[in-house]
Amino acid sequence: MGHTGIFATAAECASKAGENVDATGWVEANINQWCSEAESFINVLCRYTFSDNYATLNADVKKILTEACSNLVAIYGISFNMSGYTTRVEAEDMINILYTRFVQCIGLLELQKSRDFINNA
């Protein structure tokens, strides 16, 4: 089984989850499921199916989708089991930082003028 995510690679997601992410949960099947869920969530939140034309988007502008997706997938991975992190506060801080940036990305992606820009860049 290979990685099936559209917006973000497994490596991009792993880099956000950090080196202390639980290896028993950070497996390909879970990463694929989390990517699928994150991509669907992003599409529904924005009321626009970015995944339909992702491959045709300009590389410079579609990275906001990569960032949003990888941030959310990393949150899922960190939340799976926080025991590998130095402290629970460390894991929670990472989640809070990733979530804040995810919300900022979605705020931009929800705007029609942002979608127009992404599609026409």
The whole-model pTM stands at 0.94
Residue 2 has a pLDDT of: 86
Domain residue ranges in the chain:
10-120
| C-alpha to C-alpha distance for 72 and 102, rounded to whole angstroms | 7
Q: Looking up tokens 């926080």, which residue turns up?
A: 82
Distance of CA 70 to CAs 9, 13, 76, 112, 116, Å?
Answer: 8, 4, 10, 22, 23
Of 69, 118, 75, 120, nearest in space to 98 by CA: 75
Where would I find the beta strands (DSSP E) of 38-79? none
Neighbouring CB atoms inside 10 A of 53's CB total 12
| C-alpha to C-alpha distance for 95 and 103, rounded to whole angstroms | 12
Q: pLDDT per residue over 21-50, tens digit each?
A: 999 999 999 999 999 999 999 999 999 999
Q: pLDDT per residue over 68-111, tens digit each?
A: 999 999 999 999 999 999 999 999 999 999 999 999 999 999 99
Buried b (16+ CB within 10 A) or exposed e, 83-108: ebbeeeeebeebbeebeeebeebbee
